Amino acid sequence: MTNYVHGYSSEEAKRLKDQATTLAEMLYGDLRYPEGALVLEAGCGTGCQTVHLAGANPQTRFVALDRAADSLRIAQQAVFAHGLSNVCFERGDLLTPPFAAQSFDHVFVCFVLEHLADPAAALQALRRLLKPGGTITVIEGDHGSFYCHPETARARRTVACLVRLQAALGGDSLIGRRLHPLLDSAGFAEVRVEPRMVYVDGSRPALIEGFARNTFIAMVRGVRRQAIAGGLIDAADWDAGVRDLERAATRDGTFCYTFFRAQARREHLFGG
């Protein structure tokens, strides 16, 4: 997607892999699909979620969709490296997906809607791909849920820069709080949203490294150039804010962030 605020660098690819490794069990490790079901992963990116989903559901068939050829190539390599044979790949856009209506039993969307200018339209398009009774799972974060200790105004400003940059590109890094109304307005039924909080302190060293440093701070650090060039903050304040975030990512600091997992169903309706 051209409005991906984090860019397509090798550093971002590593961050995405670290993020999936750290969060997979918490966010979708309990997600199990029926044997023989056909599942669409919409916006698979570089396959960071794909390998976990397909590995945990070996009797399920997956179609991984993305518009970026380079991302699909990396995703295919990741699936091959994990020895998985239950995934095929398609290139296409979420708003005009290259599939017939009612093609899939289930849809999975993770960290995608936040980057779209019209997430409601994307959900409507995905709903059309579901068979009646089929389900959708949507996972998104919400940068407004973040807090840390010790916390400073400078640290807050660096995170706010990321929120503003994403909004300027048409995205919404606060979208987690909107999942229920978005799915409801897109025509889904039985919408349920569950917050899944990541809490990090000195007793969780793996999360200090995997989430606080390698996922969240790495995500913020990655937009330094855009934030300074856009006049949102000067270099000195940015660097000081990142140092303050890093100070919280130590054994005597704390980090907290909430993700939201929504699940809903396409009703059995004539012509729906």
From the list 99, 95, 104, the residue with the least C-alpha distance to 134 is 104
User: For 28-50, what is the mean pLDDT?
Assistant: 95
User: Domains in the chain, start-ordered, CATH in brackets?
Assistant: 10-265 (3.40.50.150)
The rounded distance, in Å, linking the Cα atoms of 231 and 132 is 49
**Which range, of 6-20, 89-103, 179-193, 222-236, averages the lowest pLDDT?**
6-20
List the beta strands (DSSP E) in 87-129: 87-91, 104-110
Instruction: Tell me how far the alpha carbon of residue 266 is from its chain's centroid.
Output: 22
The confidence score (pLDDT) of residue 6 equals: 54
Mean pLDDT over 42-56 rounds to 95
pLDDT of residue 269: 58
Whether residue 132 is predicted with pLDDT greater than 50 in this model: the reply is yes
Q: Does residue 12 surpass a pLDDT of 70?
A: no
Number of H helices and number of E strands within the chain? 10, 8
- The values of phi and psi at residue 192, to 5°, are -135, 130
CB atoms within 10 A of CB 228: 17
